[in-house]
Amino acid sequence: MAITLQKGQRINLKKDNGSKLNDFCVGCNWGAITREKKGLFGFGTSKEVEDVDLDLSCIMVDSDGKMIDYIYSPEYRKEFLASRGQKPGKLDSDDRALHHSGDDRKGDADGDDGLDNEIITVDLSRISPRTEQIFFFLNNAGKGDFAEIPYASIRMYEGTPQTVKEVFATYNVASDPMYKDKRAVIMGKLYKKDGEWKFSAIGDATADSNLCDTIDRILETYAR
Ligand SMILES: [Ca+2]
Ligand SMILES: [Ca+2]
C-alpha cells in the first residue's frame, strides 16, 4: 500500500515486504488549467487550455548545511542564475546518482494521464558520501499560483519514468485554497540518519517567484 504523506511526516524507506527502497523515481504529475470560454455572440462554450510550467528541482547539502550539488532545468537563463550566485542548470548530479527527465512546460492537457511530467530518478547506492540531505522542490515558472492548478502531486515509486511499478508514497500539493498566491512548494527531503536514508515530507508552500529564492530559503531555513 502506498503511503499518503501528511505535512511534516517522516518515513523510513522500508517497503511492506521488508526490503528497502534503493532505486526509485521522485516524480511530479500535474494538469494544465482548462477554462470555459463563451462562444461567439454568447452561443455555446469552448474550452481553452492554459499551459502550466512547473519545474521539479533538487539540491544536495553536506553536513555543514552547504549546497554541494543540484539538479534544475538547463532552460533557466544563465545570466539570471549567475546574478544570484548559481551555476547553469543541469539534469544529472555530479555523482550520477540522480537524473532528471527534462523540462515539461505544459502539464497534462487532456486530464490526468497517471504519469509524472517531471521525474528525478534516484539511486541511493551511488550518492556521494558527502551528501547528507537532498531537498526536492517545485517552482511555478509560468503565471498563476498553485491554487489554480487542477492537480499536482509528488510521489516516490519504483519503476521507470514510463512505467510505474509500485508506488511507495504520494503527496498532493494543489487545488486547495491554502495554495493561493503560492508559487513554490518545498516538498520534502531525503536525509541520512545513522547511515540510513529516510524521507521527510515538508510540504511548505511559499510565494517565491523564482528558483533562486527557493534555494536561498532552503539553505537559510531548512538545511541546518
Ligand atoms: Ca517545467
Ligand atoms: Ca501527467
pLDDT tens-digit map of 45-99: 888 899 999 999 999 999 999 999 999 999 999 999 999 999 999 999 999 999 9
The whole-number pLDDT of residue 173 equals 79
The whole-number pLDDT of residue 7 equals 87
Q: Which ligand is nearest to the CA of 142?
A: 1
Domain hosting 109: range is 3-37+45-222
* The total number of structural domains that make up the chain: 1
Ligand 2 centroid, distance to 32 Cα (angstroms): 9
The stretch 161-172 carries a mean pLDDT of 89
Task: Judge whether residue 148 has pLDDT over 90.
Answer: no
Separation of alpha carbons 134 and 74, rounded Å = 19
Eight-class DSSP state of 209: -
Residue 7 maps to which CATH number?
Answer: 2.60.60.30
The stretch 215-220 carries a mean pLDDT of 98
Eight-class DSSP state of 26: E
Collapsing DSSP to helix, strand or coil, 215 comes out as: helix
Cell numbers at residue 151, please? 492537480
Specify the higher pLDDT residue, 173 or 126.
Answer: 126
Q: How confident is the model at residue 178 (pLDDT cuts 50, 70, 90)?
A: confident
Phi, psi torsion values for 71, nearest 5 degrees: -135, 120
Cell numbers at residue 115, please? 504519469
Mean residue pLDDT of the chain comes to 92
pTM higher than 0.85, yes or no?
A: yes
Ligand 2 centroid, distance to 24 Cα (angstroms): 18
Q: Which ligand is nearest to the CA of 138?
A: 1
Least confident of 9-13, 144-148, 218-222: 144-148
The whole-number pLDDT of residue 79 equals 97
Q: How confident is the model at residue 1 (pLDDT cuts 50, 70, 90)?
A: low
Ligand 2 centroid, distance to 30 Cα (angstroms): 5
Q: Which ligand is nearest to the CA of 118?
A: 1
Q: Please, which residues bridge with residue 58 across strands?
A: 71, 136
Ligand 1 centroid, distance to 13 Cα (angstroms): 27
Task: Judge whether residue 107 has pLDDT over 70.
Answer: yes
Share of the chain above pLDDT 90, in %: 70
The stretch 134-139 carries a mean pLDDT of 96
Task: Judge whether residue 179 has pLDDT over 90.
Answer: no
